Amino acid sequence: MKNKTNIVKSLILSCTALLSLFCAVSCTTTKNLAPVSPISDDIQWLYLQDGIDYFCNQKQLVVCKIDLSKIRKELFYSPVKGDFSDWQDGIDGLKLAKEKNLTVAVNTIPFIQKNRLPFSKQKPYGLIIQNEKNMSEANSRYAGVRFFYNEKTKNLNCRIYDDQSTIPSKGTIYATGGYWVILDGKEILPFKDIKDYRTAIATSPDESTIYLLYGKNLSYPDCARIFYSLGASKAMEFDGGSSSFIYIKDNLYLKPPLSRKVFSIIGF
């Protein structure tokens, strides 16, 4: 009986030590992360093509500005095959972006995996609409973004919704879920200051311009402040961490060292 008691005590002490070590490493990592560099008013945008410009800060932060009224390329999205009940193969973002000759591309929706293997099949964790057809179920906990043609201007517009279950399928070219809204008007919404790789999207007040962001060592509030400084009025997070990537033709392909295949991308 004493032996069993000693074994249990040893296990508890070992677990406690590991937990303390984990907490110490986590806290140290967070404290040592470099602060986010502010974006100045005289930001130098680099031209990619008509309607598409980008900014890169030492490969730590990339923001792509897309004027939807001026672009010559159509919106590209990786199509869902079948319906939400079907497991899909993951996507190699760089390979697909090159195959489709895209100028810019980023990852979008969070997803679940069939198992923990590197090449596990996936399902979207939220809403996807393709050409007015719902391909997966909405998750009302999270936000979503919708691309559609403006009835007056006939140009492509983009709108972010707090609740992706409120996105209408009628008139929708493409819609995808993400995580939460981080910027609403002038309000930077409160989230914990957790640093990681991030992919996010923002819209201008008239919904005619979008901003795509990729960065490392960023929190949700960091992303929101960057978008706000650029004049965006609403922003939301896409899947981050090991899913994050951005591709800019002939210039950049950035992703975390331990990256994984993703469920969906958008680009132009």
The rounded mean pLDDT for the chain is 85
User: So what's the pLDDT on residue 42?
Assistant: 63
Those residues whose C-beta lies under 8 Å from the C-beta of residue 43, and which sit 6 or more positions away, are 55, 230
Backbone angles phi and psi of 69, in degrees to 5: -85, -10
The pLDDT score that the predictor gives to residue 14 is 39
Q: How far apart are CA 125 and CA 263, in angstroms?
A: 10
Reference 76, options 102, 58, 56, 50; nearest CA is 102
Q: Which residue has the tokens 């809403």?
A: 127
- pLDDT (tens digit, 9 = 90+) per residue, 224-264? 999 999 999 999 999 999 999 999 998 889 998 888 899 99
Report the residue count for the chain.
Answer: 268
Concatenate the DSSP letters of all residues of 153-189 into one string.
Answer: T-SEEEEEESSGGG--STTEEEEEE-S-EEEETTEE-
Q: How confident is the model at residue 85 (pLDDT cuts 50, 70, 90)?
A: low
Considering only residues 84 and 175, tell me which one the structure prediction assigns the higher pLDDT. Answer: 175
Contact 143, 160 (CB under 8 A): yes
Confidence of residue 106 (pLDDT cuts 50, 70, 90): very high
Say what the pLDDT of residue 142 is. Answer: 98
Sequence-separated (6 or more) residues with CB below 8 Å from residue 115: none
